[in-house]
Copies of this chain bind each other. A is one copy, B any other.
Amino acid sequence: MKSGVKKVVLAYSGGLDTSVILKWLQETYACEVVTFTADLGQGEELEPARKKAELLGVKPENIFIDDLREEFVRDFVFPMFRANTLYEGTYLLGTSIARPLIAKRQIEIAKQVGADAVAHGATGKGNDQVRFELGYYALKPDVTVIAPWREWDLNSRTQLLEFAEKHQIPIAKDKRGEAPYSTDANLLHISYEGKALEDPWVEPDEDMYTRSVAPEKAPDEAEYVEIEYEKGDAVAVNGVRLTPAALLTELNRLAGKHGIGRLDLVENRFVGMKSRGVYETPGGTLLSVAHRGIESITLDREALHLKDELMPRYAKLIYNGFWFSPEREALQALIDSTQQRVNGVVRLKLFKGSARVVGRKSPNSLYRLDYVTFEADSVYNQKDAEGFIKLNALRLRLNSIAKGL
A-side residues, CB < 8 A to B, are 84, 88-90, 123-125, 129-130, 133-134, 137-141, 147, 149-150, 155-156, 182, 194-195, 198-204, 215-216, 220, 222, 262-269, 271-276, 292, 296-297, 299-309, 312-313, 316, 322, 324-327, 329-331, 333-338, 341, 347, 349, 351-354, 356-361, 364-369, 371-374, 376, 380-403, 405
Which residues of chain B come closer than 8 Å to A202, judged between CB atoms? 359
**In the complex, A147 Cα to B382 Cα: how many Å?**
10
Inter-chain contact B124/A385, CB cutoff 8 Å: yes
In addition to A88-B292, A140-B405, A156-B376, 20 A-B residue pairs with Cβ atoms within 8 Å of each other are A89-B292, A130-B385, A137-B397, A139-B405, A194-B374, A200-B360, A263-B356, A269-B372, A272-B301, A274-B296, A275-B372, A300-B326, A309-B313, A341-B402, A351-B353, A352-B352, A352-B354, A353-B353, A353-B354, A387-B388
Which residues of chain B come closer than 8 Å to A392, judged between CB atoms? 130, 134, 272, 388
The answer, among B275, B333, B399, for a CB contact under 8 Å with A326, is B399
**In the complex, A400 Cα to B141 Cα: how many Å?**
6
Inter-chain contact B274/A303, CB cutoff 8 Å: no
Inter-chain contact B337/A133, CB cutoff 8 Å: no
Q: Beyond A155-B376, A273-B371, A303-B330, is A262–B356 a contact (Cβ under 8 Å)?
A: yes
Which residues of chain B come closer than 8 Å to A268, judged between CB atoms? 301, 304-305, 395
Inter-chain contact A358/B138, CB cutoff 8 Å: no
**In the complex, A155 Cα to B377 Cα: how many Å?**
10
**In the complex, A140 Cα to B305 Cα: how many Å?**
24
**In the complex, A149 Cα to B269 Cα: how many Å?**
30
Which residues of chain B come closer than 8 Å to A393, judged between CB atoms? 133-134, 137-138, 272
**In the complex, A274 Cα to B365 Cα: how many Å?**
10
**A189 CB to closest chain B CB, in angstroms?**
16
- Closest B residue to A385 by CB, please name it: B124
**A342 CB to closest chain B CB, in angstroms?**
11
Q: Beyond A222-B216, A272-B394, A392-B272, is A373–B198 a contact (Cβ under 8 Å)?
A: yes
**In the complex, A222 Cα to B216 Cα: how many Å?**
8
**A257 CB to closest chain B CB, in angstroms?**
15
Q: Beyond A201-B347, A300-B326, is A125–B365 a contact (Cβ under 8 Å)?
A: no
**A308 CB to closest chain B CB, in angstroms?**
4
The list of the 3 closest CB pairs from A to B, nearest first, reads: A387-B387, A124-B382, A272-B394
